[in-house]
Amino acid sequence: MDIWNLYISILVFVFGTVIGSFLNVCIYRIPEKMSVVTPRSRCGNCGTTLTGKDLVPILSWLFLKGRCRHCGIKIASRYLWVELTQGLLFLSVYHVHGFALKTPLLWILTAFLTVVFFIDFDHQRIPNKLVLTGLLLGLIPATLHVFHKETLYPSAAWFEPVLGVLIPFLLMLSLAIGGQLVFRKDVLGMGDVKVFAPIGLFLGWQLSLATIWLSYVLGGIFGLFWIMVMKKDKNAMISFGPFIAIATYLVGIFSEKVLDFIL
Ligand SMILES: [Zn+2]
């Protein structure tokens, strides 16, 4: 790896951790129906407003050994992991796609997915506000497509974004309704259905269908592991959102290979 590439990689990683720091705020505040912009971040214990040196991604947490500078209460290591993960997600996208328009599009998508992953993991739901935010962000690739810029859609047809929103969403909706009729209980949360509208807007419908398939494969493998190895209750509810997030990331980043395979 030459110096230039190393330098860009470090910049990309740091940029990812800064975004990760903001995503921590989103993950905490969106389910509480709080603004993600104001007020500024405070310590949950002593209420002191955090300043620049408390908010440097990763480094602040490490230097303060995961404690509040003012009152010393422990700060969850989750904050560190989200920043680190987002840095690595950004880096992985850059390494696969380099200086292409797909790179920033996939960065936006991974940021959205990180929030979906953790909010669904914590609360077993995907808030409407989050789905709506995803749809607004998804207008970026849809608009680029209109201007014939390269996106993740497999064809240049103008209606690709429309199909992207509708087909995966309607398939998930029918799976949810079908499951409800057959098993007489909710097999899919409405959040899991709705989140495929923004995902479809980013990936287009073909890749989104691959994502649905992979979500079930990953969820199924985890479910078996959960019941057979961990000996957990098979009726326990496991959030599906995290599997959707991982599947979307994998299909998105390897979009070309996945499309080659499908088409
Ligand atoms: Zn404090």
Q: HEC profile for 134-176?
A: HHHHHHHHHHHHHCCCCCCCCCCCCCHHHHHHHHHHHHHHHHH
- 263 pLDDT exceeds 80? no
pLDDT of 1 reads 65
Amino acid at 93: V
Q: How far is the CA of 235 from the centre of ligand 1 (A)?
A: 39
Q: Collect all residues with Cβ–Cβ distance below 8 Å to 229 and sequence separation of at least 6.
A: none
pLDDT of 260 reads 85
- 232 pLDDT exceeds 80? no
Q: How far is the CA of 129 from the centre of ligand 1 (A)?
A: 29
Q: How far is the CA of 86 from the centre of ligand 1 (A)?
A: 25
Q: How far is the CA of 49 from the centre of ligand 1 (A)?
A: 9
CB-based neighbours (< 5 A) of ligand 1, an ion: 43, 45-46, 68, 70-71
Comparing CA positions, the residue from 168, 172, 258, 247 lying closest to residue 215 is 247
Q: How far is the CA of 19 from the centre of ligand 1 (A)?
A: 23
Q: How far is the CA of 74 from the centre of ligand 1 (A)?
A: 9
Q: How far is the CA of 42 from the centre of ligand 1 (A)?
A: 8
Q: How far is the CA of 60 from the centre of ligand 1 (A)?
A: 14
pLDDT category at 29 given cuts 50, 70, 90 is very high
CA distances to 109, 227, 236 from 136, rounded to whole Å, are 12, 38, 34
Computed over every residue of the chain, the mean pLDDT equals 93
Please tell me the pTM assigned to this model: 0.93
Q: Collect all residues with Cβ–Cβ distance below 8 Å to 106 and sequence separation of at least 6.
A: 93, 97, 152, 252, 253
pLDDT in tens, 139-157: 999 999 999 888 999 888 9
